Structure 1
């Protein structure tokens, strides 16, 4: 009996050891299987996914787009609010260049006087803009009534109608109308207007258009040659057409002058390059982007420069962000300490889609433990 027990124990040890080795060797198979399972529920029609683990890259295109074809390396997607992390990277550069401080009054960089952009003598700062605690409205023009019991099939078209051709001058005029009702930094309130204001300030700081700043300081150094600010007629042919979960084709975002909140389109290969940058823990630009700005106000949850940061006891810190266009959902998670990153994007938008992408990213990360 003693010999049998020892043999059984040895067999179990061998099996467990083999499984542990396979978890690394079969990561590609695991990712592919998980993606296939996600597509079987019918809500998500297609997806592109890139995973980096210890420098090794895994990438897949799955499912069918609205044209009946699978996405591929040429497919462009609206990455929506992931654009904000690029804007945050530009802010990190401005901080490192000593052109701006996190707690500077943003009005120093505006062309007009804005006495309304303070509450009880406390102004809005760059820290507030990057953490969505400025108190600014969700969007300009500010029309909160359209979000009250909206028809989700129609809302994207209404937003586009409001924002089509929206100029910087109109943006500044809307900014004059803002009435803050609390101290900046006091409460979280998601603001695309705040991200665009940050982009506008960066333009004035560097005396260059936002598009040039993104190209010069991020896209060209990373050789992200298939990433663009805005949707041109030339690249529109490669843009994945988006759907909502009712299967209704959604419009791409309207053309407007300020695009720092969500105007970037990119492909899978380029977003993998961006993810590689975010895993460079010794890069001052990345360290500045990932710094914790809320000073422990929300316990384990923190914000970087438009990054969300989750600290879970002794486990490695998880840094993540998502993007939601009218017909596109994306998710990016990195764990620098474990040298792993996951980027997923699909041409479907809906309330449950981001949760499913987040779960898929977590499952992949857990598999590599």
Structure 2
């Protein structure tokens, strides 16, 4: 029942009312629990929190799922600007060892192909036997994550020797989290540092985002929002370590609003570079470096969503022509489409 929904009480403007209505419509579902919304429009940030039980704040931590891939694209763009990497290079230039298998019909995988999901690599480099997968299903979430965390960078690189391509790289879009993890390896190689250090230093020093990081420490774990699955069952918050999962990132609504602000700033060269079309059509679906691109009424918009088994759905969308960005994070995994409906209703109320 919507009358039992808590909020942080912001009901002064038309935008406040529209956000509240959209959030409460989402929370009518029995299995939804809470939603945090950030809106950045023409230089001003607005933050809202709604919940059926414990109310989050703008400083609460969420895992933002696959939106983490946009941070990999950002660091890749900066590496290109730093002349440490060339997007059109064969990825083998930045790998240790010999990988004669990483081409198809004499066409190599280029760096850009990892970032725009056209690498032709398999979605996983190692498939576990059914007996192991059956055993994992009987474990709790933390134990499952601990198992996959044993899959290290060395594991990934050993398995990379065994992959076989069946498509010319750069010709077909196929969403691939493991390819983005391999992109992290390339970045670690060219910067001679861990991705965690690279990205957190960039966010802290360049974008003023101190509370966005791949892994949380013990005190930060106490500031996380409780996540729920699509049946309303609480999920334990865990750090998604290892190289089997795709890129991971934790953040707050406050930091994500700063991320949106930076992404809409033309002076941020790496972020603007990550928005440029690298595959697809400029008039419909396309891909930049980590970001998805599309067009509506002749205007390009930039977006990525994310869903995690530890109980969160995320959608981050940028409308550069309108100086608008919206971040929505729910602490459930009920329906990504419904999260999109929140975003669309807020956008329409602002731009109509």
Please classify the TM superposition score into its range, dividing by the shorter chain length.
0.7 to 0.9
Matching residue of 1:8: none
2:284 touches 2:295 (CA, 8 Å); kept in 1? yes
Matching residue of 1:109: 94
2:264 maps to which of 266, 279, 284: 279
2:36 touches 2:253 (CA, 8 Å); kept in 1? yes
Matching residue of 1:35: 23
Q: How far is the alpha carbon of 1:143 from its aligned partner? A: 4.2
Q: Give the secondary structure class of the aligned counterpart of 1:49.
A: strand
How many residues of Structure 1 are paired with residues of Structure 2 in the alignment?
337
Question: 2:350 aligned with 1:368, yes or no?
Answer: yes
Question: 2:108 aligned with 1:123, yes or no?
Answer: yes
Matching residue of 2:188: 203
Matching residue of 1:15: none
Matching residue of 1:50: 38
Deviates more, 1:304-313 or 1:321-330: 304-313
Q: How far is the alpha carbon of 1:107 from its aligned partner? A: 0.9
Matching residue of 2:300: 317
Cα distance in structure 1, aligned partners of 2:15 and 2:215? 35
Shift of the 159–129 alpha-carbon distance from structure 1 to 2, 3 Å rule, reads farther
Is there any run of 5+ residues in structure 1 with no aligned partner, and where? 1-23
Q: How far is the alpha carbon of 1:73 from its aligned partner? A: 2.8
Cα distance in structure 2, aligned partners of 1:367 and 1:79? 25
1:153 touches 1:248 (CA, 8 Å); kept in 2? no
Question: 2:241 aligned with 1:256, yes or no?
Answer: yes
Provide, for residues 72-104 of structure 1, a one-character-per-residue CA deviation record: whole Å limited to 9, x for no partner.
133210011111101100011011112222111
Matching residue of 1:14: none
Deviates more, 1:72-81 or 1:233-242: 233-242
**Structure 1 length normalisation: TM-score?**
0.84
Cα distance in structure 1, aligned partners of 2:173 and 2:146? 27
2:172 maps to which of 187, 202, 207: 187
2:178 touches 2:245 (CA, 8 Å); kept in 1? no
Matching residue of 1:354: 336
Q: How far is the alpha carbon of 1:120 from its aligned partner? A: 1.2
2:148 touches 2:244 (CA, 8 Å); kept in 1? no
Provide, for residues 93-151 of structure 1, a one-character-per-residue CA deviation record: whole Å limited to 9, x for no partner.
011112222111111111111111111111111221111111223235334979x9xx9
Q: How far is the alpha carbon of 1:286 from its aligned partner? A: 2.1
1:165 touches 1:254 (CA, 8 Å); kept in 2? no
Structure index of larger Rg:
1
Q: How far is the alpha carbon of 1:158 from its aligned partner? A: 8.6
Question: 2:60 aligned with 1:72, yes or no?
Answer: no
Q: How far is the alpha carbon of 1:295 from its aligned partner? A: 5.0
Matching residue of 1:305: 289
Question: 2:322 aligned with 1:338, yes or no?
Answer: yes
Deviates more, 1:331-340 or 1:42-51: 42-51
Q: CA RMSD in A?
A: 2.7
Is there any run of 5+ residues in structure 2 with no aligned partner, and where? 1-11
Q: Give the secondary structure class of the aligned counterpart of 2:47.
A: strand
Provide, for residues 302-342 of structure 1, a one-character-per-residue CA deviation record: whole Å limited to 9, x for no partner.
1111111112343x211110011111100001101100110
Cα distance in structure 1, aligned partners of 2:308 and 2:259? 19
